Structure 1
Amino acid sequence: MQLAKVININDENSFDPTPRLKSSHIPIKFISFDRLYKNCIYCGEKYIRALFCSQKYCKKCLSRYITDIRDNNICLDIYGTLDLECNEHEVGRYCLYYLDNHNKSIYNKVIESEKNCKLCGKSLYQGTVKDIMSTFKLCSDCYLVSFEWIESTLFKKQVLIFHSPLWEDESYCANCRSKLIFTSECQKHCANCLIFYTGCRYCLTTNIIFGLTGQSQCKKCKRISLIVKSNEDNDDLFLNDIIYDSSLFDNIANSVNAIDKYFNPLALSRISSNYRLKYIPYSQFEGVEKMTKGGYGIIYKATWLPKNKIVILKRFKNSKYFLNELKSIRHCFNGLTYGYIINFYGFTKDSESNNYILVMEYASGGDLHKHLQKNFTNITWFQKLNILKEILTGLENIHSNEFIHRDFHTGNILLENLRFSLWKIGDLGLSQSVNNKSSNNEIYGVIPYIAPEIFKGSAFSKEADIYSL
Structure 2
Amino acid sequence: YLTNITDNNLYLDVYLFTKDLECNEHEISRTKIPQNIQECCRNCLIVFYFKQVFIGNNSNMKSNLYICENVIESERYCKLCGKLLYQGTDYYIMREFKLCSNCYLISSGCVESTLTKKFISIIYLPFWEYTSTCYCDNKLLFISNCQKFCDNCLIFFIGCRYCLTTNIIFGITNQSQCIKCKRVSTIIFDRTKIISINSGDSVIDDFLINIRHDFLNQLNIDKFANDLKNVKYFIPSEIYNNSLRDKIKGKLGKLMRYIPYSKFKNVKKIAEGGFSVIYQATCYWIYSLQLKHWKREIVILKRFKNLQYAKKYFLKELESNHRCYYLNSKIIETFGFTKGPKLDDYILVMQYASEGDLHKYLQKKFTEINWERKISFLYDILLGLKNLHDSNFIHRDFHSGNIL
Q: TM-score range by the shorter chain?
A: 0.5 to 0.7
Q: Distance in 2 between matches of 1:87 and 1:357?
A: 59
Any conservation in 2 of the 1:212–1:240 contact (CA below 8 Å)?
Answer: no
1:32-181 mapped onto 2 (5 Å cutoff)? 65=2, 68-71=5-8, 74-80=10-16, 83=19, 90=49, 100=66, 109-128=70-89, 130-132=91-93, 134-178=95-139, 180-181=140-141
Q: What's 1:438 paired with? A: none
Q: What's 1:372 paired with? A: 362
Shift of 1:255: 5.0
Q: What's 1:214 paired with? A: 174
> Alpha carbons of 1:99 and 1:255: their partners in 2 closer, same or farther (altered >3 Å)?
closer
1:418-437 mapped onto 2 (5 Å cutoff)? none
Any conservation in 1 of the 2:325–2:332 contact (CA below 8 Å)?
Answer: no
* Structure 1 residue 266 corresponds to structure 2 residue 237: yes
Shift of 1:79: 2.0
Is the deviation greater in 200-209 or in 123-132? 123-132
Which secondary structure does the structure 1 equivalent of 2:219 belong to? helix
Alpha-carbon displacement from aligned partner over 1:277-309 (angstroms, at most 9, x marks no partner): 264554322122334456775543111233233
> Alpha carbons of 1:410 and 1:264: their partners in 2 closer, same or farther (altered >3 Å)?
farther
* Structure 1 residue 330 corresponds to structure 2 residue 326: yes
> Alpha carbons of 1:172 and 1:252: their partners in 2 closer, same or farther (altered >3 Å)?
same
- Aligned to 1:195, which of 155, 165, 171? 155
Q: Distance in 2 between matches of 1:129 and 1:383?
A: 45
For normalisation by structure 1, the TM-score amounts to 0.58
Q: What is the one-letter code of the residue matched to 1:80?
A: L
- Aligned to 2:300, which of 283, 296, 312? 312
> Alpha carbons of 1:87 and 1:147: their partners in 2 closer, same or farther (altered >3 Å)?
closer
Q: What is the one-letter code of the residue matched to 2:209?
A: D
Shift of 1:379: 3.4
Q: Distance in 2 between matches of 1:111 and 1:217?
A: 31
Q: What's 2:287 paired with? A: none
For normalisation by structure 2, the TM-score amounts to 0.66
Which secondary structure does the structure 2 equivalent of 1:79 belong to? strand
> Alpha carbons of 1:251 and 1:107: their partners in 2 closer, same or farther (altered >3 Å)?
closer
Alpha-carbon displacement from aligned partner over 1:354-386 (angstroms, at most 9, x marks no partner): 666554331121122333355545533232123
Q: What is the one-letter code of the residue matched to 1:65?
A: L
Q: Distance in 1 between matches of 2:166 and 2:382?
A: 44
* Structure 1 residue 289 corresponds to structure 2 residue 279: no
Q: Distance in 1 between matches of 2:370 and 2:219?
A: 42
Shift of 1:195: 2.5
Q: What is the one-letter code of the residue matched to 1:251?
A: L
Which secondary structure does the structure 2 equivalent of 1:163 belong to? strand
Which secondary structure does the structure 2 equivalent of 1:65 belong to? coil
Structure 2 unaligned runs (5+)? Answer: 21-43, 285-293, 305-309
Any conservation in 2 of the 1:312–1:359 contact (CA below 8 Å)?
Answer: yes
Question: Percentage identity across aligned positions?
Answer: 43
Q: Distance in 2 between matches of 1:199 and 1:97?
A: 26
Any conservation in 2 of the 1:367–1:410 contact (CA below 8 Å)?
Answer: yes
Alpha-carbon displacement from aligned partner over 1:90-122 (angstroms, at most 9, x marks no partner): 49x99576555xxxxx77644321222333222
Which secondary structure does the structure 1 equivalent of 2:111 belong to? strand
Q: What's 1:347 paired with? A: 336
Q: What is the one-letter code of the residue matched to 1:168?
A: E
Shift of 1:184: 2.5
Q: What's 1:15 paired with? A: none
Q: What is the one-letter code of the residue matched to 1:366?
A: G
Any conservation in 1 of the 2:14–2:49 contact (CA below 8 Å)?
Answer: no
CA RMSD in angstroms, aligned pairs only: 4.0
Shift of 1:394: 5.7
Q: Distance in 1 between matches of 2:278 and 2:112?
A: 37
